[in-house]
Chain A
Amino acid sequence: MPCWKTAAIPLLAVLALGDPARAADSPPWSEKVLGTPLDLEAVARLPMQERIAVLRDHGERLFIGKFLVEEGAGRPMATQAIIPTKRRRPVHLRFQRLAGLDASSCSSCHHEPVVGGGASFTANVFVSEGFESADFDTIDPQFSNERGSPALQGAGLIELLAREMTAELQSRRDTALAQARQKGTTVTAELETKGVSFGTITAHPDGGLDLSRIDGIDADLVLRPFSQKGVFGSLRQFTVNALNHHHGIQPVERFGALWTGTTDFDEDGIADEIGAADVTALVVWQATLAAPTRKPNLPADWQQAATRGEALFADTGCASCHIPALPLKSAVFRDPGPRETAGTLREADVEAALEIDLAELDFVKALPRDADGNILVPLFGDLKRHKIADAQEPTLGNELLGQRFVDRDVFLTAELWGAGSTAPYGHRADLTSLDEVIRAHAGEARTSRKAYEALSDEDREAIIAFLRSLEIVQ
Chain B
Amino acid sequence: MTGLVPMHRALAAAAIILAVFAGTPAARAEEAPAPVPRFSEEARQAGIDHTYSGPWEYFVGGGTAIFDCDGDRRPDLFLAGGEGRAALYRNTSPAGGRLSFEPVDTGLPGRLLEQVTGAYPLDIDNDGLMDLALLRVGENQLLRGTGECRFEPANRRFSFNGGRSWTTGFAAVFEKDLAFPTLAFGNYVDRSAPGSPWGTCDDNALHRPRAGETPDYSESFALTPGYCSLSLLFTDWNRSGEPALRVSNDRHYYRGGEEQLWALPPGRPPRPYRRSDGWRHLKIWGMGIATTDLDGDGLPEYALTSMGDTKLQTIDQEGDDLLPVYRDIAFDKGVTAHRPYIGEDMRPSTGWHAEFQDVNNDTLQDLFIAKGNVEAMPDFAAFDPDNLLIQQWDGRFAEQGARAGIALDRRGRGAGLADFNMDGLLDLVVVNRSAPVSLFRNLGRDDGSERPKPLGNWIAIALSQDGANRNAVGAKLSIRVGARSLTRDIGIGGGHASGQAGFVHVGLGVAERAVIRVRWPDGDWSHGYRVFANQFVLIDRGEENARYWYPPREAAD
Residues of A within 8 A of B (CB): 1, 81-85, 129, 131-132, 173-174, 177-178, 181-182, 206-212, 218-220, 222, 254, 257-262, 341-344, 346, 348-349, 351, 404-405
Contact = CB atoms under 8 A, between A and B. Distances in A.
A252 to B, nearest CB: 12
A346 B73 contact: no
B532 A84 contact: no
Given A211-B547, A259-B362, A83 B394 contact: no
A19 B73 CA distance: 60
A84 B393 CA distance: 12
22 contacts: A1-B447, A83-B482, A85-B483, A129-B482, A131-B482, A174-B550, A181-B552, A206-B71, A207-B72, A207-B73, A208-B548, A208-B549, A218-B532, A220-B535, A261-B34, A341-B457, A343-B509, A343-B512, A349-B454, A404-B513, A405-B513, A405-B530
* Main SS class of interface, B: loop
Given A132-B483, A207-B73, A219-B548, A348 B33 contact: no
A343 B557 contact: no
B486 interface: no
Given A262-B393, A342-B509, A343-B512, A177 B33 contact: no
Interface residues of B, number: 44
A418 B453 CA distance: 40
Contacts of B71: 206
B112 to A, nearest CB: 30
Given A85-B482, A177-B550, A207-B550, A346 B454 contact: yes
Nearest to A262: B393
Contacts of B551: 207
Residue in A257, A342, A348 whose Cβ sees the most chain B Cβ within 10 Å: A342
A207 B513 contact: no
B392 A261 contact: yes
Contacts of B235: none
A178 B552 CA distance: 8
B553 interface: yes
B454 A261 contact: no
B470 to A, nearest CB: 15
B73 A206 contact: yes
B548 A83 contact: no
Contacts of B481: 83
A81 B510 CA distance: 12
Contacts of B533: 220, 341-342
Given A131-B482, A182-B557, A220-B535, 19 more contacts: A83-B482, A83-B509, A129-B482, A131-B483, A178-B557, A206-B73, A207-B549, A207-B551, A211-B545, A220-B532, A254-B510, A259-B362, A259-B509, A259-B510, A342-B533, A343-B512, A346-B454, A351-B451, A405-B513
A79 B393 CA distance: 18
Contacts of A83: 481-483, 509-511
Contact of B547 (A1, A81, A209): A209
Contacts of A209: 547-550
Nearest to B34: A261
Nearest to B361: A342
A129 B530 CA distance: 15
Interface string B513-557: 100000000000000001111110010000001011111110001
Contacts of B547: 208-211
A154 to B, nearest CB: 24
* Main SS class of interface, A: loop
Given A85-B482, A220-B532, A348 B454 contact: yes
Contacts of A349: 453-454
Contacts of A207: 72-73, 549-552
Contacts of A82: 512
B61 interface: no
A219 B482 contact: no
A178 B553 contact: yes
A170 to B, nearest CB: 10
A349 B444 CA distance: 11
A1 B481 CA distance: 24
Nearest to A203: B550
A182 B553 CA distance: 12
B416 interface: no
Nearest to B537: A219
Nearest to A404: B513
A212 B532 CA distance: 15
Contacts of A219: 531-532, 535, 548
A174 B482 CA distance: 30
A86 to B, nearest CB: 8
A446 B532 CA distance: 31
A261 B510 CA distance: 13
Nearest to B508: A342
Contacts of A1: 447
Contact of A208 (B511, B531, B534, B538): B538
A225 to B, nearest CB: 15
Contact of B483 (A81, A341, A346): A81
A131 B530 CA distance: 16
Closest 4 CB pairs of A and B: A343-B510, A261-B393, A83-B482, A257-B33
Nearest to A260: B393
Interface in B90-125: none
B484 to A, nearest CB: 8
A405 B535 CA distance: 16
A261 B513 contact: no
Contacts of B509: 83, 259, 342-343
Interface string B355-379: 0000001100000000000000000
A208 B71 CA distance: 12
B550 A341 contact: no
B455 interface: yes
B160 to A, nearest CB: 31
A79 to B, nearest CB: 8
A63 to B, nearest CB: 24
Contacts of B300: none
B412 interface: no
B534 A341 contact: yes
A259 B456 contact: yes
A208 to B, nearest CB: 5
Nearest to A177: B550
A166 to B, nearest CB: 13
Given A83-B481, A208-B547, A261 B73 contact: no
A93 B51 CA distance: 64
A173 B393 CA distance: 38
A2 B509 CA distance: 16
